[in-house]
Amino acid sequence: MVISLNNVCFSYAKQSSSPVVNIPSWSLAEGEKCFIHGASGGGKSTLLGLLSGMLTSNTGEITVLGERLDKMSNRQRDKFRADNIGYVFQSFNLIPFLDAIDNIKLANYFSKSLPKPILQQAIENLLTKLNMAEKNCSKPVRDLSIGQQQRIAIARALINKPKLLIVDEPTSSLDQENRDAFMTLLMSMVEAHSISLLFVSHDMSLAPYFDRVEALSSINIAAIDALKDSQGK
Ligand SMILES: Nc1ncnc2c1ncn2[C@@H]1O[C@H](COP(=O)(O)OP(=O)(O)OP(=O)(O)O)[C@@H](O)[C@H]1O
């Protein structure tokens, strides 16, 4: 299994009796492309934070690529994430005043998986594959279009050749044409590099791109409670 969760519970306020994530059991097999959909506030980003080690669970077992994240120190989790997990954020999280190359180099800095000259070449190759014109690779990313920034975010997530790619609905601000282009590109990269994919979104129209589709409320008991709260039940 690429991901395996067992009795995972998480709440932001440690004393709170109502967790945001409460997952008895869930797993992702190697090579799977899984789409988890759920309403806003249901805990999608929180779940991804736990799986990537940016958040730590209160209780339970989180195993990613055979390693227990819940048993690691913060430092070990940061290193594990940099070495093994690609992450595309909702709002890309690029550094606006750096160009594409330097934004991607930063991801490698924390992992140091490639020596400098090889890294430069690998970044250029990846950006070419993602149809980024050379002249746009040396501009601050704040001067690029949203579509170009998305491609840089994909390149940054893939530069360390992750076995697992986690994507937090980066398509929500896009029109349909750009959304389809993003999804097609993402899926072609995932297939070419045999990466396992976990993608979350509220947008059910993305479901046909995936081989496994799940509702967050069927995995996360706390999401059902959040849904009842939002409906005033
Ligand atoms: N840093 C935080 N501190 C306290 N509560 C938070 C924090 N981040 C999120 N929450 C709460 O946790 C719940 C789940 O939020 P989360 O962002 O995981 O949902 P989501 O499904 O990703 O929502 P969206 O689709 O709107 O991004 C919400 O009630 C939210 O208010």
pLDDT, one tens digit per residue, over 37-86 is 988 888 888 999 999 888 998 899 999 999 999 999 998 998 899 889 99
- The conformational region for residue 231 under phi > 0 = left, psi -120 to 50 = alpha, else beta, is alpha
Atom number, ligand 1, closest to the C-alpha of residue 90: 27
User: What is the best residue among 15, 18, 37, 45 to mutate for testing ligand 1's pocket, by most ligand atoms within 8 Å of CB?
Assistant: 45
DSSP-H helix ranges across the chain: 44-51, 74-84, 100-111, 116-129, 146-158, 176-192, 216-219, 221-230
Its domain, for residue 200, covers 3-230
Pocket of ligand 1 (CB under 6 A): 12, 20, 38, 40-46, 202
pLDDT at residue 130 tops 70: yes
Question: Domains in the chain: how many in total?
Answer: 1
Tell me what pLDDT residue 15 has. Answer: 60
Q: For the segment 146-192, what is each residue's pLDDT rounded down to a tens digit?
A: 888 888 998 898 888 899 999 998 766 677 877 888 888 889 889 98
Q: In Å, how far are 18, 36, 123, 160, 172 from 190, measured between CA atoms?
A: 36, 17, 17, 13, 20
> Do residues 116 and 96 make contact, with C-beta atoms less than 8 angstroms apart?
no
- How many Å lie between the centroid of ligand 1 and the Cα of residue 90? 13
Q: For the segment 210-225, what is each residue's pLDDT rounded down to a tens digit?
A: 999 999 999 998 876 6
Tell me what pLDDT residue 129 has. Answer: 83
CATH assignment at residue 59 = 3.40.50.300
